[in-house]
């Protein structure tokens, strides 16, 4: 089995995207996903051999730290683009006039948050969802599915939708060989060729 590590908890956007990545590569049935509380734990699992690869969203607040801290031993082996789970501003039906909203830092500009007097920073979108479920937050920018799963408790005040993010896959084997690694048949290559007037 090929073992992939990523950020939890269960149902996180990271789990959602890694499952799509495994399906894309035809690895369903021959790969497992372990979920970690942070990327330090995920990186450690690759370095100690209990996982083979680590998958991280490129805009996650800890990405720069992951690259810098483990540059010698944990290498970028792949990158890809994937839509996220649908996002929305969700609020507690019992408290429609909330003065505060919980938001993960990279999602701050996904919506106009000026009507809230207090922005509560969280580490992950999943943490926003959990805080709403536990009653610690009255409103949050989180997964739209929360309102679908608990329609009696939550409703969507603004649907944001899916965001295309860049993702990084790390492994123990360096693949660059000191050169550039890029796909010459990528959608971007086709755009470049079209714009430059090049053929084939």
The DSSP code sequence of 113-133 is -TT-SEEEEES-HHHHHHHHH
On the question of a cis peptide bond just before residue 9, with omega within 30 degrees of 0, the verdict is yes
Residue 11 burial (10 A CB sphere; 0-12, 13-18, 19+) = middle
Pairing of β 164-171 and β 53-57: antiparallel
- Tell whether domain 2-83+163-175 is in CATH 3.10.20.600: no
CATH classification code of 87-161: 3.40.190.10
- Under the banding of pLDDT at 50, 70 and 90, the label for residue 75 is very high
Condensed to tens digits (0 to 9), the pLDDT of residues 120-175 reads 999 889 899 999 999 999 999 999 999 999 999 999 999 999 989 999 999 999 99
pTM of the shown model: 0.85
The tens digit of pLDDT for each residue in 177-196 reads 889 999 888 999 999 999 99
Q: Domain spans of the chain? A: 2-83+163-175, 87-161
Query: What are 33-68's pLDDT values in tens digits?
Result: 999 999 999 999 999 999 999 999 998 889 999 999
**Tens of pLDDT along 77-100?**
999 999 999 999 999 999 888 899
* Same fold flag, 2-83+163-175 and 87-161: yes
């Amino acid at each position: 089995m090929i073992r992939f590590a990523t950020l939890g908890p269960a149902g996180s956007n990271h789990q959602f995207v890694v499952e799509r990545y495994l399906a894309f590569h035809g690895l369903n049935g021959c790969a497992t996903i372990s979920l970690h509380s942070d990327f330090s734990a995920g990186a450690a699992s690759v370095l100690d051999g209990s996982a083979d690869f680590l998958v991280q969203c490129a805009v996650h607040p800890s990405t720069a730290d992951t690259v810098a801290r483990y540059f010698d031993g944990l290498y970028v082996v792949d990158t890809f683009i994937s839509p996220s789970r649908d996002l929305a501003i969700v609020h507690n039906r019992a408290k429609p006039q909330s003065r505060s909203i919980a938001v993960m830092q990279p999602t701050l500009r996904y919506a106009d948050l000026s009507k809230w007097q207090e922005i509560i920073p969280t580490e992950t979108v999943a943490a926003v969802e959990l805080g709403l479920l536990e009653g610690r937050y009255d409103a949050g920018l989180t997964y739209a599915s929360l309102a679908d799963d608990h329609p009696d408790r939550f409703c969507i005040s603004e649907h944001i939708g899916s965001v295309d993010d860049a993702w990084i896959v790390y492994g123990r084997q360096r693949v660059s060989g000191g050169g550039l690694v890029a796909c010459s048949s990528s959608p971007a290559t086709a755009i470049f060729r079209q714009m430059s007037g090049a053929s084939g």
